[in-house]
Amino acid sequence: MTSLLEGAKKLVTRGSDIGARVEGLAQAVEASRGRLDDEVVDAAGATAARAAHRLRLSADHTVVALAGATGSGKSSTFNALTGLELSAVGVRRPTTSWATACVWGSEGAPELLEFLGIPERHRVARDNLLSQGREDTALQGVVLLDLPDHDSTEVSHHLEVDRLVALADMLIWVLDPQKYADAAIHDRYLAPLATHKDVMLVVLNQIDRVPEERRETMLGDVRRLLAADGLTGVPVLGVSSREGWGVDGLREEIARKVASKKVTKQRLEADVRASALRMRTVTGEAAAPTLSRERLEALEDSFAEAAGVPTVVKAVEESTRVRANRATGWPATAWLSRFRPDPLKRLHLDLGQVGRELTGTPRSSVPEPTQVQRARVDTEVRALVDDVTAGMQPAWGHAVRRASVSRLPDLGDRLDKALAATDLGVERLPVWTGLLRALQWVLVVAALVGGAWLALLGVATYARVPEPPTPEWNGWPLPTLLLLAGLGLGLLLALGARVLVSATARRRASVADQRLRQAIGEATEELVVAPVQAELDAYGRAVDGLATALR
């Protein structure tokens, strides 16, 4: 856009923002592509491209187009303004669909004429030999176009008129006393260009054919018709190109507008404004909404439920209990827990970090979302979209809705991957379980030693072999103390460890819940929030761009 803004600085007076307006419209077009009706977006895009191109061309020339119906005297007016017989008149009108151009000041004009699509054989430089030495500095910088007749039976003629009417900086509509009220020009051109009245002149030609006492009345009637078209204030000049009446006044009016260096700017601004207003009718002007934290949390909760997070969290807690109790329980009974299935293994979620790296994309056995869970997801998605589209025009609302459900077919797979890829923090048991396991085995050994010792004493008694001396502690035989302490303390330690195991299981379940919800939040962001936010961002750029174009 750098060259566009530089062209704008060359073209308009200091402080103008025409370049920014064009850039704003282009931004709105880009943001609206694929979201609004193609016809509206394409038309606005063409306007922005055309305006940007015009800004890069000569700022020293103003394109003035003479348009009118057959027999209105448009070509004779063109000849009168140029002082040359350049356009054929009346029955000698050519059948070509090209316009004729007369240029005052040819330096820098060729590129502009290329932009206008005027063939070289239809171009004349007013300051060349054809002028026969007569200088006309009043219209210096003017590119005057004589357009084909807009009501011609040749389709190519009015297509050329339509094309050049869109490109000209200033429009002069030549009417005649017989057809000045013709709906063909009012409905097709004048009324639709009501936003361009600052760059228009209307000429009532052949005024010499109207009785003098009726001339002002007829000019007033033309002004009334223009007002009905939304063109109040457009200058209306009575001219007779054949007699030369009013031609000097017309030339002075053109020269005055061109000298102000505002005509091209006003035309581009009118084009940009008209396109921006048309886009705003289907875009609106409400500020881009934001996604509420409450709605996002409700959506994440519905995704977590559909993913089976409560099931996995419960499995984490139960699995931790099973493993920790197996490690810290009384060895004589702890082995029985090996026959109890691990809840995480049943869900294929007991992989650990190493397991995830080895299996690549993991899969779990968590049940698929139920119809009720999917229905809740759909409800929360709709509620989120309803909130953010409340102030939007229908087209943008539909775009946000389409985006919100565009990734939902991937819901099951994406949630399953989120679960299976999450480190649940259950790969290793706490350090204290190893210490308790070692202590339990010390107690088991003590109990076995005590039991064996007592057994040997019993055998000696039975065999009537003299008993070896038995150590005592506080009056208790040491073998008995070893057996009772090994069994009793082992059982008490196992019971006490259950309290620590329960606390550990709850803590790990809480950590797993946080990690799973973070993973589900990322899935929610990917499947719903990011597509919706992309549409809201595009809407915001469109609204901001239109605001810039219309400011």
- The string of DSSP letters for 454-496 reads HHHHHHHHHTTPPPPP--EETTEEHHHHHHHHHHHHHHHHHHH
- Average of per-residue pLDDT across 507-519: 82
Per-residue pLDDT at 67: 92
Cα separations (Å) of 417 from 303, 313, 355, 356, 481? 13, 16, 14, 11, 56
Cα separations (Å) of 25 from 165, 262, 409, 542? 20, 20, 36, 8
Rounded CA separation 533/539 (Å): 10
530 vs 98, more confident = 530
- Average of per-residue pLDDT across 53-61: 86
Own/partner contacts of 34-39, CB < 8 Å, gap of 24 or more, are 34/399, 35/395, 35/396, 35/399, 35/535, 35/538, 36/279, 36/282, 36/283, 36/395, 36/396, 37/282, 37/395
- Average of per-residue pLDDT across 325-337: 64
Per-residue pLDDT at 63: 93
Least confident of 159-163, 358-362, 519-523: 358-362
- Average of per-residue pLDDT across 436-462: 75
The residue behind tokens 């819901």 is 411
The residue behind tokens 């009013």 is 246
Give the DSSP per-residue string, 234-283: --EEE-BTTTTBTHHHHHHHHHHHHHTT-HHHHHHHHHHHHHHHHHHHHH
Least confident of 161-170, 253-262, 506-515: 506-515
Residues in the chain: 551
Which of 133-142, 233-242, 447-456 has maximum average pLDDT?
A: 233-242
The alpha carbon dihedral of 218, 222, 228, 234 has a sign of negative
The residue behind tokens 């006309």 is 136
Q: Are the CB atoms for 159 and 96 separated by under 8 Å?
A: no
Pairing label, strands 62-68, 472-473:
unpaired
Domain boundaries defined on the chain: 60-260, 293-430+501-550
136 vs 405, more confident = 405
Question: What mean pLDDT is reported for the chain?
Answer: 82
| Res 125 pLDDT > 60 | yes
- Average of per-residue pLDDT across 49-63: 88
Least confident of 133-142, 338-347, 507-516, 531-540: 338-347
385 vs 517, more confident = 385
- Average of per-residue pLDDT across 376-395: 91
Per-residue pLDDT at 335: 61
Q: What is the pTM of this model?
A: 0.73
- Average of per-residue pLDDT across 133-148: 80
Token pair recorded at residue 118: 């005027």
Token pair recorded at residue 151: 């009501």
Token pair recorded at residue 292: 């509420």
| Res 15 pLDDT > 90 | no
Residues 6+ apart with CB under 8 A from 418: 307, 516, 519, 520, 522, 523
Which of 24-33, 302-311, 479-488 has maximum average pLDDT?
A: 24-33
Look up the CATH superfamily of 60-260: P-loop containing nucleotide triphosphate hydrolases (3.40.50.300)
Q: What is the pLDDT of residues 265-279, one digit of tens each?
A: 889 999 999 999 999
Residue 201: strand pairing partners: 172
Q: If pLDDT is split at 50, 70 and 90, which confidence band does 223 have?
A: very high
161 vs 15, more confident = 161
Q: Are the CB atoms for 407 and 527 separated by under 8 Å?
A: yes
Per-residue pLDDT at 95: 45
Per-residue pLDDT at 133: 47
Per-residue pLDDT at 348: 63
Per-residue pLDDT at 491: 77
Report which DSSP code applies to 84. S
Rounded CA separation 90/242 (Å): 12
Closest CA to 497 of 343, 336, 342, 326: 326
| Res 8 pLDDT > 50 | no
Q: What is the pLDDT of residues 480-505, one digit of tens each?
A: 777 777 777 777 777 777 777 778 77
Rounded CA separation 461/454 (Å): 11
